[in-house]
Structure 1
């Protein structure tokens, strides 16, 4: 027996806004066999993220986080800058003391997405 993939679930307040951010701005595509009112599944390359409706979510109290690895962190970072994707104020592209080259963004519900490359 082996584990094969993981699909994190994050909260969203508004499905249309979340879908627009991930699909319209980050280049994900909607996936799944059905379109549920309170649930969203998106995918890009080998990364799949699910979202559940949490209309009462207070973004400033949301601690949802996902770490996504990429094979070209510099190109990804540049593409976000070129597409006016806001980089987290404390998440500029840099090599961390633990050897990972990383940057971070926040989605509309303050879920933190950190992108990284390295060993």
Structure 2
């Protein structure tokens, strides 16, 4: 029986990735050991994992994650507080499929889409 999913996304620089997610998106670092080529983070029970890919060309990265939330407006406002660091690529919109969504790119161009059913 499946109980959870933890997407694994590429990162070029662990320190940059960690700073972005912890400082600007409110995640926390998890795990007992600190591996130089791997990062695990969590927010509200959702985990994301990252693996080192130093030669990644961000313009060729198609990593994507859809994250559901029950507080889309609060989350969106927190992202808007950091326009110099958090690259908004899809503003908050009501979609035809009944979701209120917005999207950001992380430093490695992993696409994070946040959505809430309406």
Any gaps of 5 or more consecutive residues in structure 2?
none
CA distance in 2: counterparts of 1:59 and 1:82, whole angstroms: 24
Q: What is the 5 A alignment of 1:77-116? A: 77-84=76-83, 85-88=86-89, 91-116=90-115
Any gaps of 5 or more consecutive residues in structure 1?
none
Stretches (4+) displaced over 3 A: none
Give the structure 1 partner of residue 55 of structure 2: 56
Q: Which structure features the higher share of strand residues?
A: 2
TM-score (norm 1): 0.93
Please tell me the root mean square deviation across aligned C-alpha atoms, in Å. Answer: 1.0
Q: How many residues align?
A: 116
**C-alpha distance after superposition, 1:63-109 (max 9, x if no partner):** 00000000011111111112433311xx1100111111100000000
* 8 A Cα contact 2:87 2:106, kept in partner: no
TM-score (norm 2): 0.94
CA distance in 2: counterparts of 1:108 and 1:82, whole angstroms: 17
Give the structure 2 partner of residue 23 of structure 1: 22
Give the structure 2 partner of residue 38 of structure 1: 37
